[in-house]
Amino acid sequence: MSKVIGVLDLQGDVVEHIDHFNRLGVKTRRVKKPEHLQGLRGLVMPGGESTCLRRLLKLFGLDESIRQAVRETGTKVWGTCAGAIILAAEVDGVREGMGVMDIAVQRNAFGSQLASFQTEARIPAVSDKLLPLTFIRAPKIIRAEEGVRVLLELDGYIAMAENEPALVTVFHPEMTPSLAFHRYFAEKCACLPEPMSEKTQHTGDKDTDESWNPTSWTRLAMVDAMKRNL
C-alpha cells in the first residue's frame, strides 16, 4: 500500500487539506470515484455541508466503498466538521450515519454561520502546545460509546475523538497555520515522510508553517484551473 492520503473531492474544504499535507511532504490524491480509494492509507472527509455530502456520496457510489475500504483494507478516515457528521453512528437522534465511529452528533450545535468562532486548546495526544481551533457552523459530539477515545472536551461537549480506524474533529484544522492535526493523522496512517521537510523546520516549530495564510490554498485552485484549460 502506497504512502498516500486521499481527500474526498465532492464538496467542501478540499484544497485546504491538500495544502496542509503538501506542507508536511505527504502525498495526496483527490477522491471522486470508488476506484480512487485503491491503495490509500488514509482518507479525509472534509468540512462542507453534511446533507449535500451524504447525497453526493450515494450518487457517486462512495458511501459503501469507503466502509469497505475501512473494513477490508484498513484505510484510516478523518472527518472534519461535516465529515465527522458523516462518520458518526447517530446524528440528531437518528441512526443514519456511516457508523465508522460510535458517537452521537448534534448538527449546527452552535447556531448559524454568524456563531462561528475561534479558540485555542491544548491536546496532549496531538501537541504540547496550545493549538488554534476554528469552528464554522460546527456540530457537537454529545456522546461517545465504548471503544472511542476522547481527545478533546470543551464546555461539556466532545470536540475531537478517535477509534482504531477513524479520527473526527468538529472544528477545521485546515483553516489555521497549524500542521499538528494533519501530522497526527499522517502518523496514524503511517504516511509521514522522514526526515521532516525543510519548510517546516525553519520555523522552529515542527507543527506550524509561518508562510501559511487564509488564502494560501488558492494557489492550488489556480493550478487546477490551468490544468483544465490545457
Question: For the chain, which domains are there?
Answer: 4-229 (3.40.50.880)
Residue 195: is the preceding peptide bond cis (ω within 30°)? yes
191 in Cβ contact with 174 (< 8 Å): no
Q: What integer is the mean pLDDT of 148-173?
A: 97
Name the residues annotated as catalytic: 81, 172, 174
Kindly report the backbone phi and psi dihedral angles of residue 37, in degrees, each rounded to the nearest multiple of 5, phi listed first.
-80, -15
pLDDT at 145 over 80: yes
Please report the pLDDT score of residue 212 as a whole number: 78
Please report the pLDDT score of residue 214 as a whole number: 72
pLDDT tens profile 150-160: 999 999 999 99
pLDDT at 229 over 70: no
Q: Where are the alpha helices (DSSP H) in the chain?
A: 14-24, 50-59, 63-73, 82-87, 180-188, 198-201, 218-229
Q: Where residue 187 falls among pLDDT bands split at 50, 70, 90?
A: very high
Please report the pLDDT score of residue 205 as a whole number: 56
Angle of helix 50-59 relative to helix 63-73, nearest 10 degrees, comes to 80
Please report the pLDDT score of residue 169 as a whole number: 98
pLDDT at 201 over 50: no
Please report the pLDDT score of residue 222 as a whole number: 56
Please report the pLDDT score of residue 48 as a whole number: 86
In the numeric block, which cell numbers belong to residue 104? Answer: 452521537
Please report the pLDDT score of residue 200 as a whole number: 45
The CA distance from 32 to 38, in Å, is 12
209 in Cβ contact with 177 (< 8 Å): yes
12: left (phi over 0), alpha (psi -120 to 50) or beta: left
Please report the pLDDT score of residue 103 as a whole number: 97
Please report the pLDDT score of residue 224 as a whole number: 62
What string of DSSP letters covers 61-120?
T-HHHHHHHHHHH--EEEEETHHHHHHEEEETTB--S--SEEEEEETTTT-SGGG-EEEE
Q: What is the overall mean pLDDT for the chain? A: 88
pLDDT at 195 over 80: no
Q: Where residue 140 falls among pLDDT bands split at 50, 70, 90?
A: very high
Angle of helix 218-229 relative to helix 14-24, nearest 10 degrees, comes to 110
pLDDT at 73 over 60: yes
- Give SS3 for 142: strand
pLDDT at 30 over 70: yes
Please report the pLDDT score of residue 198 as a whole number: 47
pLDDT at 2 over 90: no
pTM listed for this prediction:
0.88
171 in Cβ contact with 177 (< 8 Å): no
Please report the pLDDT score of residue 230 as a whole number: 46
Please report the pLDDT score of residue 114 as a whole number: 65
Please report the pLDDT score of residue 208 as a whole number: 80
